[in-house]
Amino acid sequence: MRSSGGSRLGDVFWRRPGLPVLVMLTPPVLWLGIVYVGSLLTLLMQSFYSLDDFSGLVVPEFTLSTYAQLLTPANFDIIRRTVVMAALVTVADAIIAFPIAYMAARYARGHWKALFYLAVMLPLWSSYLVKVYAWKLILAKEGILNWLFETLHLTPLLDLVLAIPGVGGNSLSVSSIGTFLVFVYVWLPYMILPTQAALERVPANLVDASSDLGGRPSATFRHVILPLAFPGIVAGSIFTFSLTLGDYIIPQIVGTSRLFIGQAVYAQQGTAGNIPLAAAFTVVPVVIMGIYLTIAKRLGAFDAL
């Protein structure tokens, strides 16, 4: 006969399988519920307050006037610029990631497989700031890219690109092209991994069946592999899109003086002391990501995560 408290508890757990699940779930749900969701709700509440223009103090009364401020041309411009950048970065990442993911999933074996894995994991887990810093070194006026262009006698071409209004600038490190390059680089591994996972799950016999039935490689690719890999690409795009929407450090270090959403939030809550407007600004990426995640779920991206 068993008598220790531990075993009796174990028996209770065994007879009522719902109970241990409840016990196990309580700590993490309490933590995430209180620390995270609680904080999010506090923030949301702040966005319905407003800032008194004369005293500079937050007025804790319900109003929509702070949200109305988001629609002023200057603020709306920030939102549009950020969303366009996030979309461009996502598309570029999908294009660059696909060949890497495809090679890693379907051709690489043995040492090559390990190399591909490390080549993705190293930049993914390397310090975010170190990556940004490395690009500062690459894009600087005396840096590697300019040296490369000079060595190849292509400097006039670079100058021509930098002269384009809206995307160019004095040098690569103070242009929107620079911001774009760094964003694409920093989030690329987040696109490769889900794409690769989706490609690895494409059953080999489907590919064989397609070619047995006379499908040329390009047709097999278009009608079998690509549709099956698509949820993985959408899953990756959740990260690339969301991370670009909220980032404020990359455009601060590499880029023009025109603000992105993250920078606006940072400036409003810091120097300007306008917490309500900062909170309202953060609601924008939350709403956009809410819509994005709903669509992604429909496309099956969550099963590909």
Residue choice 16, 38, 59, 298 for contact with other proteins (CB under 8 A): 38
Q: How far apart are CA 98 and CA 53, in angstroms?
A: 51
**Smaller CB separation from other proteins, 29 or 157:** 29
**Smaller CB separation from other proteins, 13 or 167:** 13
DSSP states of 248-262: -SHHHHSS-SS--HH
Smallest CA-to-CA distance from 67 within 51, 47, 84 is with 47
Q: Write down the least CB distance from residue 71 to other proteins, Å.
A: 20
Q: Are 278 and 268 in contact (CB under 8 A)?
A: yes
Q: How far apart are CA 54 and CA 166, in angstroms?
A: 36
Structure tokens at 208: 């064989």
The answer to the question of residue 291 lying near other proteins (CB under 8 A) is no
Q: Which stretch binds other proteins (CB under 8 A): 69-77, 111-119, 152-160, 163-171?
A: 111-119
- Amino acid at position 127, single letter: S
Structure tokens at 228: 């099956």
The answer to the question of residue 299 lying near other proteins (CB under 8 A) is no
Q: Apex CA 37: angle with CA 34 and CA 43, to 5°?
A: 115
Q: Which stretch binds other proteins (CB under 8 A): 68-76, 158-166, 223-231, 240-248?
A: 240-248
Total binding residues toward other proteins, as defined by CB under 8 A: 107
**Angle, in degrees to the nearest 10, between helices 176-200 and 111-125:** 140
Q: Write down the least CB distance from residue 119 to other proteins, Å.
A: 5
| Positions in 128-147 near other proteins (CB under 8 A) | 128-138, 140, 142-144, 147
Q: What's the Rg (C-alpha) of the chain?
A: 25
Q: How far apart are CA 210 and CA 10, in angstroms?
A: 52
**Smaller CB separation from other proteins, 156 or 214:** 214
| Positions in 200-229 near other proteins (CB under 8 A) | 200-201, 204, 207-208, 211-212, 217
The answer to the question of residue 76 lying near other proteins (CB under 8 A) is no
Q: Write down the least CB distance from residue 165 to other proteins, Å.
A: 26
Residue choice 158, 172, 229, 265 for contact with other proteins (CB under 8 A): 265
Q: How far apart are CA 124 and CA 226, in angstroms?
A: 24
The answer to the question of residue 78 lying near other proteins (CB under 8 A) is no
Q: Where are the alpha helices (DSSP H) in 109-260?
A: 111-125, 128-139, 144-151, 155-162, 176-200, 204-212, 217-220, 226-246, 250-253
x/- mask, other proteins, residues 151-190, rule CB under 8 A, reads: ----------------------------------x--xx-
Residue choice 62, 125, 165, 294 for contact with other proteins (CB under 8 A): 125
Residue choice 67, 81, 87, 102 for contact with other proteins (CB under 8 A): 102
Q: Write down the least CB distance from residue 73 to other proteins, Å.
A: 23
Q: Which stretch binds other proteins (CB under 8 A): 61-69, 70-78, 93-101, 164-172?
A: 93-101
Residue choice 1, 6, 62, 166 for contact with other proteins (CB under 8 A): 6
Q: Are 192 and 162 in contact (CB under 8 A)?
A: no
Q: Are 248 and 37 in contact (CB under 8 A)?
A: no
